[in-house]
Chain A
Amino acid sequence: DQQVKQNSPSLSVQEGRISILNCDYTNSMFDYFLWYKKYPAEGPTFLISISSIKDKNEDGRFTVFLNKSAKHLSLHIVPSQPGDSAVYFCAAKGDTGTASKLTFGTGTRLQVTL
């Protein structure tokens, strides 16, 4: 039972354009959402997060949008740069109190082309 879904396994975007990565979840108890970026042979790196009491969080070129009614979140990267090419994982938590369990999606591989 995949509670966090990233339905696009891959995405290709031109340098300078916007990258939009999508994530859907099914568990209404989730109240905190995170995006991680992962390069080959490295562990995931935290990118940005959002609490369920907000609908938008911005950090430089990265913005995360949360639509609670649709159980959908998205990560916008503007402008996209070649160094952004990586696998992006959406993660959620909230149904385990203060415990640190994160539920991850299967990832979207972003390729930013010149």
Chain B
Amino acid sequence: KAGVTQTPRYLIKTRGQQVTLSCSPISGHRSVSWYQQTPGQGLQFLFEYFSETQRNKGNFPGRFSGRQFSNSRSEMNVSTLELGDSALYLCASDPGQGNEQFFGPGTRLTVL
């Protein structure tokens, strides 16, 4: 079974721009969660989507948004990028019962 895939793997943007990251979950998994990893902060939960609905949300500003499609693929968008948004963005999927999550390799975003 193929794992979680994320595209692109690396991205460089400038302040003020917006960015869209994509995640394809493991086949059959209906839940997709997004996390931000920065040095010293561990993984911070952004939001979770299940059956195209946002089911849970972390403490991030409204510049961070997401959506999920009918095939469970998910996208995450960050508008008006700031230098502090530079991070590794990780996507994780699970069947929906919410125990073990399976992570993709991440998208490394650098904001200049």
Contact = CB atoms under 8 A, between A and B. Distances in A.
Contacts of B98: 93, 98-100
Interface of B: 4, 31, 33, 35, 40-45, 48, 50, 55-56, 58, 90, 92, 94, 96-106
B56 A101 contact: yes
Contact of B42 (A96, A99, A105): A105
B104 A43 contact: yes
A43 B101 CA distance: 11
Given A41-B105, A43-B104, A103 B99 contact: no
A44 B42 contact: no
A107 B42 contact: yes
A104 B42 contact: yes
A99 B48 contact: yes
Contacts of B44: 104
Given A93-B99, A102-B33, 13 more contacts: A4-B42, A32-B99, A36-B103, A42-B105, A43-B4, A44-B103, A46-B102, A93-B98, A98-B97, A99-B48, A100-B48, A101-B48, A107-B42
Interface string A100-114: 111111110000000
Nearest to B41: A106
B103 A100 contact: no
A49 interface: yes
Contact of B103 (A6, A43, A49): A43
A45 interface: yes
A49 B99 contact: yes
Given A106-B40, A106-B42, A101 B103 contact: no
A66 interface: no
A34 interface: yes
Contacts of A43: 4, 90, 92, 103-106
A100 B56 contact: yes
A107 B94 CA distance: 22
